[in-house]
């Protein structure tokens, strides 16, 4: 699903570049390229976690458990970074929609508000004191 969502700005690029080529390219870069990279890295971390869990099932060592905890943490960080990338790209696309009136202004304004709130939530989650870091223990 993430990769198909990342291709939306690629398909919109021919339409949006007529109005503002910089914002259209930024939308493709953030929502198309960088979001696809984040989704791919997230999938790779999940597959690596599966492999590490199989190794842990056979050996049961603490080093493998630590590696698994690190993979879980990396997946959480990738999701947070992906949310920031998504928000920036969405801001670019919805700003263009707002300027060009390709969709109703109230709808694009709603998208701008949502993108700003989502961006703020990810930043607070990353740097806030309530960020719950996964426990990485060694026995």
Nearest to 33 by CA among 102, 78, 82: 82
pLDDT reported for residue 139: 42
Domain boundaries, the chain: 2-126
In a 3-state reduction of DSSP, which class is residue 123?
Answer: helix
**The model's pTM:** 0.82
**Whole-number Cα distances in Å, 118 to 6, 86, 112:** 17, 9, 10
pLDDT in tens, 42-76: 999 999 988 888 888 888 777 888 888 888 888 88
- Biggest CA–CA distance in the chain, Å, is 60
pLDDT in tens, 76-112: 889 899 999 999 999 999 999 999 999 999 999 999 9
pLDDT reported for residue 115: 95
| Alpha-carbon span 9 to 51, nearest angstrom | 34
Which residue has better confidence, 17 or 69?
Answer: 17
């Amino acid at each position: 699903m993430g990769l198909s969502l990342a291709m939306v700005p690629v398909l919109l690029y021919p339409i949006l570049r007529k109005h503002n080529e910089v914002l259209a390219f930024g939308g493709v870069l953030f929502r198309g390229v960088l979001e696809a990279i984040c989704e791919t890295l997230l999938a790779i971390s999940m597959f690596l976690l599966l492999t590490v869990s199989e190794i842990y099932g056979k050996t049961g060592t603490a080093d493998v458990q630590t590696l698994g905890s690190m993979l879980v943490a990396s997946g959480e960080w990738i999701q947070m970074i992906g949310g920031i990338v998504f928000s920036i790209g969405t801001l670019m696309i919805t700003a263009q929609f707002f300027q060009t009136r390709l969709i109703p202004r109230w709808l694009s304004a709603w998208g701008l508000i949502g993108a700003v709130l989502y961006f703020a939530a990810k930043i607070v989650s990353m740097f806030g004191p309530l960020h719950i870091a996964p426990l990485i223990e060694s026995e």
